[in-house]
Amino acid sequence: MRLSISHDTTYRYDSQVRTSIQYLRLTPHDSERQRVLNWQLKLPRPVRAQLDPYGNILHVLTMDEPHESILIGASGQVEIDVLCESEHESQSALPFLRFTHLTEADPALREFAQLHCKKRRDRSALIDLMHGLHGHISYLTGSTAVETSAAEAFAGQQGVCQDHAHAFLACARSLGIPARYASGYLYTDSDDHLASHAWAEAWLEGAWYSFDVTNCLTKPERHLKLAIGRDYLDACPVRGMRRGGGTEQMHAHVEVEVAPMLQVQQQ
Amino acid sequence: MDRKYYDEMYDAQGKCRPHYLEFARWLAAIPPEQLAQRRREADLLFHRAGITFTLYGDEQGTERLIPFDTIPRSIPASEWRMVERGCIQRVQALNMFLADLYHEQRIIKAGIIPAEQVLANEGYQIAMQGLNLHRDLYAHIAGVDLVRDGDGSYYVLEDNLRTPSGVSYMLEDRKMMMRLFPELFAAQRIAPINHYPNLLLETLKTSSPLDNPNVVVLTPGRFNSAYFEHAFLSREMGVELVEGADLFVRDDKVYMRTTAGAKQVDVIYRRLDDDFLDPLAFNPDSMLGVPGLLSAYRSGHVVLANAIGTGVADDKSTYPYVTEMIRFYLDEEPILKNVPTWQCSKPADLSHVLANLGELVVKETQGSGGYGMLVGPAASKAEIEDFRARLIAKPEAYIAQPTLCLSTCPTFVETGIAPRHIDLRPFVLSGREVRLVPGGLTRVALREGSLVVNSSQGGGTKDTWVVEDLKNAE
């Protein structure tokens, strides 16, 4: 499946920003599952790409001239291998056993994980866990914020894809299974543009397997991966800081569609 | 409880040890009123110099003077040479361990240290994986905490490879002693230590591949308990003292704001924990760090001393493996001993610890500063039961060790002079070579019988002397 992405983000500020800096993880890289056919970033100024600690492609955008808005555009086409269900990795998965502040497993999450997996530590156990979490935390836009932890979302029984992923990571790690956060894009048939997305991956039998709690999907055929990390903070597409500027208004527009084969072949 | 402690000044028969003879003669000769007068002078001078320490867990956040004791801790030069070799060996092995851990991981493949023990450790930093550092150095500045057991043999209590502090007290204590009692330094050869700031600056400069790098000291700010030391060291080295807000990152390089414009920074002697260095990469709430610092560091445009991710090597749960590291990397026998350690993460160790809590010292693997530890023999029943519950709830967060009979040194107390327990923290600098100034910081537990020497727990300091041995033949 070929996905065509167009992702524009505009930040507007009440007053002038004196300086700002953003960590951008908006560029996918080739993997067993996905092949990047073309990809462009539109940034206010040229920025060199580097790899971040997790191997994600990172652009650090520093602006030290006063500005009132920032436009960031990412677009391109990526081929997804729909038959590929897992990804291998040469680096040890063990660092992904560690909890982070956002993925700390409180007694309730530990108990929930135990209840669904008992002594099992395989993929079917984690699929049961995924369904369990999907049922427990209802999807509700705006019900949580970026700093909401897994435990808080679990207790509140509401959240977005980020909370679903965090809760899954907390549970999997509490079972002794390394798990990591994935951010990227999702293609959906529906109209409600669920395009920027987050899901979880767990390390089972020497490979990373996907668990999309929000959509109860274990085959990542509609998922274009941008970045991975221990939690949202490591993998989120944009993380920035600024001096001045007052209140920020962020507007993001994402379009994900299946690219017509012919058109791509001509490029 | 009657214990046999090793006393630094007097042997088991109460005879003064040779390296203390000169001092003992002086102490016997000086009129008590004159001595008392000079001790009052010392207190006044320390107050005036502003050498204070902010106490954590104190609601008033009071700044407190670290008590300074005028009876020095003295080490014969021959003994010091052994300690020095031992510290160098240990820090070399620890730096090699860190370089290995963040690259080939030979020590894991060799089965010497379990992968999960280090890779899932809180101090392990993924950001350091595969990153090449100049000279393969991670802990440029290390503080090795040593104690002596009943028979006088030295043990390493812990390695401090993150942001070890205390060296300013070492230097100020010496300055004070020389000022108050110059006659002591005229009467015998006491190895000088005042070149430490020069050695530190040299170490920091050689941590960079550049010829004459711009070095700064990065402090969390004046509310940090060691702020005095940060200011002291930057002044002594003649380099800028900066806070996070004084630095910024542009295109993977770090700059300092100055009145003459931006100036690039090449080496940061940072006295800030990993988690606070870069709010865009670590703790997002950190107001103390520099946004973008990690990307600049990983691009190789700035050196951090110490490197990120050294905490995995000085973690108390990694400590038991250090002797094996020395054998593995250096093919040498450890010169300094490790204290036997029970790892509560192991069920068999845990049950031993739970059955012997009253005898043992229990520490948090991630703790420092003497907070969150249990000294079994000195603890109340309630304290022991509290720790038992904590151990059962989170065994992997603790280790336990036998209660060592820390050596004592005569110390001024209210009733006169009495023995008090001490430790020793030499500061080990790794650059082109591994070096120490003779001695280190001696901390003393001022409460009678107390084994906790941390300044946050009511400890004081002493000047530390390395003196030429008296040879009978001469």
State mean pLDDT over B139-159. Answer: 95
CB-based contact A8:A237 (threshold 8 Å): no
Mutation for testing the B interface, residue in A50, A60, A100 having most B CBs under 10 Å? A60
Residue A173 C-alpha, separation from nearest chain B C-alpha, in angstroms: 11
User: Tokens 């101090």 label which residue?
Assistant: B123
- Host domain of residue A43: 2-82+237-266
| pLDDT per position as a tens digit, A64-83 | 899 999 999 999 999 999 99
Question: How sure is the predictor about B368, in pLDDT bands with cuts at 50, 70 and 90?
Answer: low
Q: Give the residue with greater pLDDT, B22 vs B371.
A: B22
Residue B115 C-alpha, separation from nearest chain A C-alpha, in angstroms: 8
In sequence order, the 6+-apart residues with CB closer than 8 A to the CB of B36 are none
Q: What is the pLDDT of residue B456?
A: 65
Name which of B287, B288, B282 is nearest B308 in CA terms.
B282
B291/A21 CB distance under 8 A:
yes
For residue B400, the tally of other CB atoms under 10 A from its CB is 28
Intra-chain end-to-end CA distance of chain B, in Å: 42
State mean pLDDT over B22-51. Answer: 88
Flag whether pLDDT at B61 surpasses 60: no
Q: Chain-centre distance of CA B257, in angstroms? A: 32
The residue of chain B with its CA nearest to that of A56 is B127
Using a 10 angstrom Cβ sphere, with 0-12 exposed, 13-18 middle and 19 or more buried, the burial of residue A251 is: exposed
B127/A98 CB distance under 8 A:
no
Report the residue from A21, A52, A94 with minimal CB separation from B119.
Answer: A94
Q: What is the pLDDT of residue A264?
A: 40
Q: Residues A154, A246: one domain? A: no
Residue A94 C-alpha, separation from nearest chain B C-alpha, in angstroms: 5
The values of phi and psi at residue B69, to 5°, are: -105, 135
Q: Residues A118, A191: one domain? A: yes
Task: Report chain A residues whose CB lies below 8 A from the CB of B115.
Answer: 92, 94
Cis peptide before B306 (omega within 30 of 0): yes
Name which of B154, B162, B160 is nearest B338 in CA terms.
B154
Q: Kind and range of the H or E element at B41?
A: helix B32-49
CATH for A126: 3.10.620.30
Task: Decide if A65 touches B, using CB distance below 8 A.
Answer: no
Q: Residues A145, A133: one domain? A: yes
For residue A114, the tally of other CB atoms under 10 A from its CB is 13
Residues of chain A with pLDDT below 70 are 191-194, 260-267
Flag whether pLDDT at B110 surpasses 60: yes
Q: Residues A64, A153: one domain? A: no
Report the residue from A91, A98, A233 with minimal CB separation from B284.
Answer: A233
Q: Residues A76, A27: one domain? A: yes
Q: Residues A221, A148: one domain? A: yes
| pLDDT per position as a tens digit, B238-292 | 999 999 999 999 999 999 999 999 999 999 999 999 999 999 999 999 899 999 9
Report the residue from B115, B116, B249 with minimal CB separation from A62.
Answer: B249
Question: Which domains occur in chain B, in start order?
Answer: 340-403 (3.30.1490.270)
Average pLDDT of every residue of chain B: 92
Flag whether pLDDT at B60 surpasses 60: no
Angstrom distance (rounded) from CA B3 to CA B405: 7
| pLDDT per position as a tens digit, B385-438 | 999 999 999 898 899 999 888 999 999 988 889 999 999 999 999 999 999 999
Q: Residues A96, A66: one domain? A: no
The residue of chain A with its CA nearest to that of B129 is A53
Interface of A with B in 16-45 (CB under 8 A): 19, 21, 23
Q: Residues A165, A247: one domain? A: no
The residue type of B129 is Q
CA distances (Å), origin A205, targets A121, A156, A178, A210: 10, 33, 11, 13
**R_g of chain B computed on alpha carbons:** 22
For residue B379, the tally of other CB atoms under 10 A from its CB is 18
Name which of B196, B263, B207 is nearest B236 in CA terms.
B196
**B5: its two tokens:** 């402690």
Task: Decide if A58 touches B, using CB distance below 8 A.
Answer: yes
Angstrom distance (rounded) from CA A112 to CA A131: 12
B229-244 as b/e: b if 16+ CB within 10 A: bbbbbbebbebbbbbb
A239/B295 CB distance under 8 A:
no
Q: Residues A220, A246: one domain? A: no
Overall pTM surpassing 0.90 (yes/no): yes
The residue of chain A with its CA nearest to that of B122 is A98
Tell me the ipTM for this assembly. 0.93
Report the residue from B120, B127, B249 with minimal CB separation from A21.
Answer: B249
Task: Report chain A residues whose CB lies below 8 A from the CB of B249.
Answer: 21, 60, 62
Q: What is the pLDDT of residue A195?
A: 80
Q: Residues A73, A94: one domain? A: no
Task: Report chain A residues whose CB lies below 8 A from the CB of B279.
Answer: 241
**R_g of chain A computed on alpha carbons:** 19
Task: Report chain B residues whose CB lies below 8 A from the CB of A23.
Answer: 280-281, 292, 295
CB-based contact B201:B239 (threshold 8 Å): yes
Residue B280 C-alpha, separation from nearest chain A C-alpha, in angstroms: 6
Angstrom distance (rounded) from CA A184 to CA A200: 11
The DSSP 8-state label assigned to residue B15 in this structure reads: P
Of all residues in chain B, the percent with pLDDT exceeding 90 is 79
Flag whether pLDDT at B473 surpasses 70: no
Helices (H), B121-190: 167-180, 182-187
Q: What is the pLDDT of residue B58?
A: 44
Q: Residues A6, A121: one domain? A: no
B115/A92 CB distance under 8 A:
yes
Q: Residues A99, A205: one domain? A: yes
**B281: its two tokens:** 């990469």
Residue A75 C-alpha, separation from nearest chain B C-alpha, in angstroms: 23
3-state SS record for B354-406 = HHCCCCEEEEECCCCCCCCEEEHHHCCHHHHHHHHHHHHHCHHHEEEEECCCC
The residue of chain B with its CA nearest to that of A98 is B120
Q: What is the pLDDT of residue B18?
A: 94
Task: Decide if A124 touches B, using CB distance below 8 A.
Answer: no
Task: Decide if A54 touches B, using CB distance below 8 A.
Answer: yes
CATH for A50: 2.60.40.2250
**B152: its two tokens:** 């006088």
Domain count, chain A: 2
Flag whether pLDDT at B59 surpasses 80: no
